[in-house]
Structure 1
Amino acid sequence: MDYQLITEQAELDSFVNAISQAETLAIDTEFMRRRTLYPEIALLQIFDGQHLGLIDPLQPLDFTQLWQLLKCEQVLKVLHSPSEDIEVFQNFAGFVPAPLFDTQFALQLLGQGNCVGFAAMVNSRLNIEIDKSESRTNWLQRPLRESQLAYAAADVAHLLPCYNELVTQIRAQGWFDLVIAESQLLSKKRAHQIPDEQLYREVKGAWQLAPRDLAILKELAMWRRQKAQRKNLALNFVLKEANMVEIAKRRPGSLNSMRNIPGVEPMEVNRSGKEILACIERGKAMPEQSLPSRVTRLMDYRGYKQTAKDIKQKIATVAKQTGIPADVFASKKQINQLISWHWKYDEHEREQLLAPDLLQPWRFDYVREALADWVLTSNESR
């Protein structure tokens, strides 16, 4: 397999010039996510069918010309299961390549299973077994070994022929635009951030807490994310989610009493104990009329099970009519999104959140009539 390791500006400029006329580019990234909130990019792989470049982003390179190419609407970018790659691009490049074709979603559309891994796709489509020995390698180490480089090159070298086969089937069904729209939605979801004041509602176990405890949890959740972003630390390295709930329940008044809470680690107290105590005090000082309402689990709402069943049946009918698998339209999680949108949030809160997937393009175009009772306005997608 021929590839070029790119570490110099002249090499990058030459490579971008060589692929600049391509209509389709296979793309992958290698990154590390050890204790950081944001992924650390370690390698960028691009293949146009003739030229395969492994670009080292740890070198002082000017990516301006490459970014212009990856932003070009006339060039299709192909990735497999790009959720994390999208996040890598958002944080490293400041944008997401578009239009984007996700081969994993294409396989799902064709009824070949959810979350088909890259190796499984290559095996079934190309009858090639991928060597997985480097899958858990340290991509930030330098120099990269020959085996690492070959592994990274194979990701895009095999991706393009898989795409060529899949896109023929997708176009035959008239679903090409659906794949593109799904990737656009994925990018939008990755870029969206739940407002600070609503973070506490997403914490597992929040439903157990009384309003005053929720006020403390709300302060803790806002502080934790802000510190994680400021320090580029994974959220659970700032404070574990389960520990936030316990701290909100017990409301410790000192560092020593905080250390006695089961599950709370000494490191959490040593690093952030004073900040945690300040969150507790702010929550305790919140006026009674400003306290959050209790959080109700969706399963505890009256009529939830029957409602979810009814929506699932309506979607199954649309799936049968269109030939699109029902699980592509909506998983259980996506059905719950729709119900929560109506039952758990008021109009002001909905304005701050992304509409559920079933009310977003492309799905809404298909389910609009079947789910007419679940449409609040004529323009819910955002």
Structure 2
Amino acid sequence: MDTVVVASPRVPNAEDLYIDTPEALAALASRLADAPWLAIDTEFLREKTYRARLCLIQLAAPGIVACVDPLALPDIDALRPILCNKGITKILHAAHQDLEILYQLWGEIPMPVFDTQIAAALLGQGEQIGYGRLVAEAIDVTLDKGHARTDWSQRPLDPAQIHYAADDVRYLGELYAQQHTALSARGRLSWLGDDFRRLGDPDTYTTDPEAVWHRLKGVHHLQGVQLSIAQSLAAWRERQAQVADRPRRWILADEPLIDIARRPPASRDMLQRIRGLPDAVVGRHGDTLLRLVAEARERPESEWPILADRLVLSPEQEALADLLMATLRLEARRQDIAPAMLATRRELEHLASGKTDLPVMQGWRAHVVGHTLRAVIEGQLTVRMHDGQASLMPTSDEG
């Protein structure tokens, strides 16, 4: 993967700029235009809205650390040409939510990106290591945690809050340089490609209302026409939440939605008996809910959604999955990679059941552990204990 490594990435002594006027934003954009890399973080609220509300965007580049206040500005569009400049590497930690917010704001995803959390997993520093811990381990700096519960929508922000927010980007450049060097030395830099491309795919941040029923709590207890009803209700709720910009649960919580699907009401009286369904929801949306239920029940059976079959393993396959999990952990430890970057338990269960079209058996994962897993399945390798330590050994060496 093509990225730019900088010689002097740390900016701890840079002044923390607070940008709250169009003039200051234009000046900042001018200074950032030729940056070789740009560290990004955001502060947002989502408790009362469907979409995250951007409250602050922190930026760092060589010699610059700035907190831009979108609540004080008409817009932050002056930053778009810089953040979306494909010649500037954007560095983030746990980038998904930050990129989602920017995609919703501009309809464009800042690329290319480098996610220090994903990179840390490939360097054996944990599957989802937090930024503060990573900074402490890699740079030996302990970050202040005093403002972790700040309501970032409240104004004014005091200097301590601004400094705290600025710290979230202050050390990303140095982390990036360290990780880039370490991954290059181990021949792992290209392994980041798939994950980073996924971060740059608009589908990653796009929700299909017709597909959200899969995520309903309790949906696996439904069957047949009940699933058709659940799909219709969930799709309606999603669209309502999007239009109103309110959390899904404020429109209709999962529990009563599932109960409506399980015991389809045919009248308002029956609807009012649904446990956990507020009278206000019945009053506001009762007729719509009854119509959706009736339409879903009339849908041809061929159009009903189908739950993916639950994987049921035989005792022998369960034992094989355990052996594969042990193998994966041994290889992950040996190669200093977070096990979850290689495969999940669920994926190994599918492998034990005979399925092979899996990520762990493809690309770099196949070279790191997939071929070894196949050797275990084929009986060529096994896990043995010696002096309290587990290790992989050829089966020909047994006995």
Alpha-carbon distance in structure 2 between the residues aligned to 1:371 and 1:236:
43
Answer whether contact 1:182 1:362 (CA < 8 A) is retained: no
Instruction: Give the 5 Å matches for 1:166-205.
Output: 166-188=179-201, 191=204, 193=206, 195-205=208-218
Q: Which amino acid aligns with 1:28?
A: D
Residues 123-176 of structure 1, C-alpha deviations (whole Å, 9 max, x = no match): 222333222222221112222222221111111113323333333222211222
Match of 1:259 in 2: 272
| Paired position in structure 2 for 1:350 | none
Structure 1 counterpart of 2:128, from 115, 121, 138 = 115
Q: Which residue of 1 aligns with 2:82?
A: 69
User: Structure 1: which amino acid aligns with 2:80?
Assistant: W
Give a deviation string over 1:287-329, Cα, whole Å, max 9, x none.
3444444x35524477874685587578669858976444212
Residue 40 of structure 1 aligns with which residue? 53
CA deviations 1:316-367 (Å, max 9, x no partner) are 6985897644421222356579999x79xxxxxxxxxxx9765887657867
Structure 2 partner of 1:24:
37
1:203-222 equivalences in 2 (<5 Å): 203-222=216-235
Q: Secondary structure at the match of 1:298?
A: coil
8 Å Cα contact 2:123/2:336 also seen in 1: no
Deviations 1:252-283 (A, max 9, x none): 23334323222333343344333222211112
Query: Which runs of structure 2 are paired with 1:1-382 in the superposition (5 Å)?
Result: 2-61=15-74, 63-188=76-201, 191=204, 193=206, 195-293=208-306, 295=307, 297-300=309-312, 305=318, 324-332=337-345, 363=365
Question: In structure 2, how many angstroms separate the alpha carbons of the residues matched to 1:185 and 1:357?
Answer: 14
Alpha carbons of structure 1 residues 195 and 32: separation in structure 2 relative to 1, 3 Å: closer
> What SS class does the counterpart of residue 127 from structure 2 fall into?
coil
Describe the SS at the equivalent of 1:252: coil
Quick check: 1:24–1:48 contact (8 Å CA) kept in 2? yes
Cα distance in structure 2, aligned partners of 1:302 and 1:196? 36
Unaligned runs of 5+ in 2: 1-12, 375-399
Name the SS of the counterpart of 1:42 in structure 2: strand
Distance 1:150 1:324, change over 3 A: closer
Greater C-alpha Rg: 2
Q: CA deviation at 1:24?
A: 1.6
Question: For residues 94 and 77 of structure 2, what CA distance do their matches in structure 1 show?
Answer: 26
> Which secondary structure state, in structure 2, belongs to the residue aligned with residue 154 of structure 1?
helix
The superposition leaves residues 32-88 of structure 1 with CA deviations (integer Å, 9 ceiling, x where unpaired) of 111211111111111113011111122445544522222222211111111211111
Residues in 2 aligned to 1:123 and 1:234: alpha-carbon distance in whole angstroms: 35
- Contact (CA 8 Å) 1:81, 1:105: kept in 2 or not? yes
Write the distance in 2 (CA, Å) between the matches of 1:267 and 1:11. 47
Aligned residues: 359
- 8 Å Cα contact 1:83-1:190 kept in structure 2: no
- Distance of aligned partners of 1:82 and 1:246 in 2 relative to their CA distance in 1, 3 Å threshold: same
For 2:340 and 2:280, how far apart are their aligned partners in 1?
Answer: 43
Normalised to the residue count of structure 2, the TM-score between the two structures is 0.77
CA RMSD of aligned residues (A): 3.4
Query: Do the aligned partners of residues 307 and 206 (structure 1) sit closer, same or farther apart at CA in structure 2, a change above 3 Å counting?
Result: farther
Distance 1:115 1:282 in 2: 44
Separation of aligned partners in 1, 2:104 and 2:251: 20
Q: What is the letter of the counterpart of residue 248 of structure 1?
A: A
Paired residue for 1:378? none
Sort the Cα spacing of 1:337 and 1:44 in 2 relative to 1 into closer, same or farther, 3 A. farther
Query: How many percent identity over aligned positions?
Result: 28
Q: Which amino acid aligns with 2:50?
A: L
Closer, same or farther: CA 236–87 of 1 in aligned 2, 3 Å: same
Contact map agreement 1:86 1:190 (CA 8 A) in 2: no
- Alignment-mate amino acid for residue 239 of structure 1: L
Q: For residue 171 of structure 2, give the secondary structure of its aligned residue in structure 1.
A: helix
CA distance in 2, matches of 1:328, 1:222: 32
Are the equivalent residues in 1 in contact too, given 2:36–2:89 (CA < 8 A)? yes
With normalisation by structure 1, the TM-score equals 0.80
